[in-house]
Structure formats: C-alpha cells, structure tokens
Chains A and B, each alone.
Chain A
Amino acid sequence: MRPVSYSRATDVGAAIGAVSADPESAFLAGGTTQVDLLRIYVEQPRRLVDINDLPLNRIEELPGGGLRLGGLARMSDVAEEPELVRRYPMVAEALLLGASPQLRHMATIAGNLMQRVRCSYFRDVAAGCNKRAPGTGCSAIDGINRGHAVLGTSDCCIATHPSDLGVALVALDAVVQTEGPGGTRSIPIDDFFLLPGQTPEREHPLTHGELVTGIDLPPLPVAATSRYIKIRDRESYEFALASVAVAMSVVDDRITEIRLALGGVATKPWRARQAERLLDGAPATTESFTRAAEAELAPAVPHGMNTFKIELARRTIVRALEIMAQREGTT
C-alpha cells in the first residue's frame, strides 16, 4: 500500500475543494472499496479526504412523494428505513442481500454506486487490464471469466458491474444528485453508469472532485409491490451471478405496469427495456415471461466460462416474474 496523507473534511465545499484541486486526491467514505484497492495498488491516490463527517446521511421526503437518500447514508441504515421498506421494498432487499452486516455498517450508498469491478485481473496489477491500465488489453476475454458479463460488453472489457443497489435504482429511474467545482447536477441513474465501449476506464460521467450528495427515488406507486431476487454461488456474503429487480402490477391477469432490471450479467446495472416492452399489457403467464426473458437475452454474448449465465439470467427473470404474479394474484 502506497503512503497517503489524510484530512477530514468538515463541510461539503471544503471536501470538493480539496479533491478537485489535486488530481492525486480521492474521497474516503466507508473505505470498503477504497482501502481494499489502495492496499493492492489498484487505486493510487496520494491523499485521502475523509468525508464521513459531512452531514449527508439523512433520508428525507421529497415534495411530490419521493425519497431523497443522503449519499453518505450507510447501506444498513437505508435498508431499515421504514418508509423505504414500505414504498420501495426492492431497494431494501438489494441492500440486505449485498456484502455482510459489518460491511453494510461501513459502506455508504454513494460508495456503493462508485465501487469498482471484482474482475480478478483488474485486481491484479501484474495482469493486462484495459480498465485499470488503458491499452494493456483485457485478460478476461480469453481468461477466467465465469463471473463476467454477457450484456453490454465490448472487445475492451467484459467486467460485470457488482452493485446490487444500482440494479434496483435503474429499475426505479432514480436520480443521482452531485455537487462539484462547477455546481450541482442531477444525473438520471441510467446515464450515471457508462458502458465500457472503447473507454472502460471511464465508469461515470463525474468530474474529478464531484461529490455524490444524494440519490432521489421518484414517486412510483408500483414500486410498493417489488422484489430483488439474487442468485449466487453461496447463500450469503457473495456477489450475484444473476439478479433481478422487478416491480409489477397485474389487473385481471394482465400486466398493467412493469419495471425490470438485471444484475450480475451486464457491464452496468441493466434496465431490461426490451422485456418491459413485451410485458407491458401482456397476460401475466409463464409464456409471456419466458418470451420477454428470451428477447432481453437475445443480444447476449458469451465468452466461454460464463455461457451458463445466459440461461441462468433467463430463468431468474421468469422466476422473479412468477413470484410477483403469484403475489399479485393473491391480493
């Protein structure tokens, strides 16, 4: 681990000023990504600006019926907020199915969206990796890629986006609030995560020193009937092989509203728009669910070891929709 200097920011302006003035500075929130990657030389800032004392951990009502989650709110606290559990259960479930209780006490929700990929070549400074060291090639494309993505990949990078929270947020059309040297911005969540394309080192549209201050959940009544389903190699404390965030309403056996997003299989939290289009207005039957899942996975590109993820993702989508349909049918 490279030596670093340290300061603790007491207000938002000072934090932004300190990091934006120095290209080698970085924010330190819960540290569960930052300290890990510093230790293995993947991240190499010379100075950490601790933002944990900033007053950005509140959860507030938004006018019009949404919720604003402070960027520094901890995963554990957000997951237990009663209004979030009632109005957006899939967000609480995505948080509780991530990491471990200890990590959730430390990790902030802004840090969760900013976490880096778990690709083992990205984490190994001796390996070629276009994301960590642009132009050095992607070791995963012909390497060990069982955990890698099948959707949204490029010939430069196939790493899966690891966030569970992000998947629920893209299904909800959440909005990321930021503040930087240039002022404040609102970034729709789908634009907040960038596809790797030819520039996999660029994961977010943020400028250096721009701080995620909050995440807005828009009012969305259908989100009150929502779930997050996560499939993984072991029951807990593991990243997703495939996951589904779904909100659905059914009237007279027809789907009247649907939000669907995928995790564990794509290079960014993946809004399943193709499937949504087919499901909207369709009968709530396994047949429609299967058709929609197949359409969403049609453009999937396997890379050998991760071929199984295409079928796994299809089945996870169908299962998630069936669970929702049964629940809707009984209410």
Chain B
Amino acid sequence: MKSYEALRTAPNPDHAVVRGPGEVEVHLHVNGESRTAIIEPRVSLLDALRDRLELTGTKKGCNQGACGACTVWVDGRRVLSCLTLAITCENREVTTIEALSEGDTLHPMQQAFLDCDAFQCGYCTPGQIMSAVALLAEGHVGDDTEIGEWMSGNICRCAAYPHIRAAIRRVRDEGGPGDASR
C-alpha cells in the first residue's frame, strides 16, 4: 500500500525558507502517490484532501478536534486532519480511507463494518474505520471497555457504538461472525 520511493524523490523545498501567506506549492505524499497542491499555508490537511486532491472520503464534522470524523494517518499514526496544516505534512506519508481497499476488495475492517451494520448515516464511518484499523495495530483491543476507551476519539451521533465494537472484535478475532449484542 505504501511506497516510500516517491517520498524520497519528491521535490524537497527548503523548509527553512519562509513561505506564504499567499498560495504556495505544497508537495504531499498521499496514499503512495506524490501530489502537489497550490494552497496557502493556513489550509488544513482536511481541506487540502477534500477540496484540492478530490479525496472526499475523509469527513469534516466539527473542524475543531472534537469529533474524529477527519481521522487519517500521518506516518502511520492516526491523527486529526482538521487540526493539521497540510504544509506540515511535506516529507510525511499521508494515508486516507481511499487507500484501504485493494481495488474492489474491501479491507477486512470495511467489510466488518458492513457485515456488523456498524453505522446508520455513515458520516463518522471513514474516521471510525481509520481509527479502528490503527487501533488494532496499537493493541488496546482486549475487551469492550478497552476498545471503547481507545475509540473514544471518534464520536458517532447515531450512536452505532455497540456495532462498531462488534466490527472491531470481529477483525480482532479474524473472521468469526460479529455479535453486536455482546
């Protein structure tokens, strides 16, 4: 999924130089591809992804760090793209929900969300899934209390929480049918 080759060969602006406040070329590396955006330094990673790079899978909820809808990975760690300035991601690897599936084959977590009915309106779902996949790698999926605590950075206004936990348990346990009533 990730190719660091393009990262090494990406244009490397002199970061010590002061850029902006007007539009500047920002060289990003998103989902294994080099992408250039002409944006002001104040533009968030979230807005750059959605409005400039046509990656609208990542959602804007609160735009102030309070909901988790905008969760993406930067250098493999889950972060909030609404409080990240895009220009700070030069020379870092950005991964969004669009990178999870391989062609038409969904990532196991995406499939588990479908199978476990882990959403209603679906607005928080990309953030939930980016968080859930990262959480599995981080550990902290021992029981539902632990999953709940470590998923607490992703709010679901539809309160699909029991099903979201079921989807995560299912991927954790590799394949068994998720049971939301547990």
Identify the A interface with B (CB < 8 A): 1-10, 14, 28, 30-32, 35-36, 38-40, 46-48, 50, 52-53, 76, 99-103, 105-106, 235-237
Contact = CB atoms under 8 A, between A and B. Distances in A.
A36 B15 contact: no
Contact of B18 (A1, A47, A52, A236): A47
A75 B104 CA distance: 37
B20 A5 contact: yes
B83 A35 contact: yes
B17 A100 contact: no
A190 to B, nearest CB: 29
B73 to A, nearest CB: 9
B125 interface: no
B77 A5 contact: no
Contacts of B138: 101
B20 A4 contact: yes
Given A3-B21, A5-B20, A28-B88, A101 B80 contact: no
14 contacts: A3-B20, A3-B21, A3-B40, A5-B21, A6-B20, A10-B15, A46-B21, A52-B88, A100-B154, A102-B78, A102-B153, A236-B148, A236-B152, A237-B155
B80 A106 contact: yes
B152 A100 contact: yes
A7 B17 contact: yes
A10 B16 CA distance: 7
B37 interface: no
A36 B77 CA distance: 20
Interface stretch (B2-10, B62-70, B162-170): B62-70
A102 B80 contact: yes
A100 B153 contact: yes
B21 A31 contact: no
Contact of B83 (A3, A46, A106): A106
Nearest to B19: A6
Q: Which 8 A-B pairs have the closest CB atoms?
A: A100-B153, A236-B152, A3-B21, A8-B15, A6-B41, A5-B20, A237-B152, A105-B77
B131 to A, nearest CB: 7
Contact of A103 (B15, B65, B155): B65
Contacts of A35: 44, 83-85
B51 interface: no
B150 interface: yes
Interface string B72-107: 000001111001110110000000000000000000
Contact of B79 (A5, A48, A106): A106
A159 B21 CA distance: 33
B84 A106 contact: yes
A6 B84 CA distance: 13
Contacts of B44: 35
Given A5-B19, A235-B148, 6 more contacts: A4-B21, A6-B41, A28-B88, A35-B84, A36-B65, A50-B15
Given A102-B68, A103-B153, A105-B77, A5 B83 contact: no
